[in-house]
């Protein structure tokens, strides 16, 4: 009997790759990642300044990237400082490279 898609067990690598791909699936998130790669860190307001989006929308995109593990956020009252999660960024690069080879 064939397994349905919900019965298939996925590897942790496949699940991580899907999580990273989903988080990178919006152009605003790509722009955020590009900005963070150019800097050691930046604050939410600095990201809002370069995107033509409302602060609440940018915050939602930051939340998605953080939940996927691609960025880290540190509360520096009253602001939040964001940076690339270098360990997971390297993992994502390796997984994407393996997929496209």
CATH assignment at residue 56: 1.10.10.10
In a domain, 54, yes or no: yes
1 in a structural domain: no
Helices (H) and strands (E) in the chain, counts: 5, 3
23 domain-assigned: yes
pLDDT at 80 over 80: yes
Residue 81 lies in a domain: yes
Asked if residue 42 belongs to a domain, the reply is yes
Please write the tens of the pLDDT for every residue from 15-58. 999 999 999 999 999 999 999 999 889 999 999 998 999 999 99
- For residue 51, give both structure tokens: 């995107």
What pTM did the predictor assign?
A: 0.87
Question: Has residue 77 got a pLDDT over 90?
Answer: no
- Please give the tally of structural domains in the chain: 1
Q: What is the pLDDT of residue 9?
A: 86
CA-to-CA dists, residue 50 to 15, 40, 64, 96, angstroms: 31, 16, 18, 27
Question: Does 7 map to a domain?
Answer: no
pLDDT band at 5 (very low <50, low <70, confident <90, very high): low
Q: What is the pLDDT of residue 7?
A: 76
| Mean model confidence pLDDT for the chain | 92
Domain that holds residue 83: 12-92
């Amino acid at each position: 009997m064939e397994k349905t898609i919900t019965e298939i067990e996925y590897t942790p690598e496949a699940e991580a790759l899907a999580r990273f791909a989903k988080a990178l699936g919006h152009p605003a998130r790509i722009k955020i990642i590009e900005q963070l790669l150019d800097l050691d860190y930046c604050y939410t307001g600095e990201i809002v300044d370069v995107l033509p989006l409302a602060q609440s929308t940018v915050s939602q995109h930051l939340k998605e990237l953080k939940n996927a593990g691609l960025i880290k956020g540190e509360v520096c009252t009253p602001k939040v400082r964001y940076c690339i999660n270098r360990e997971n960024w390297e993992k994502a690069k390796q997984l994407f490279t393996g997929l496209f080879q």
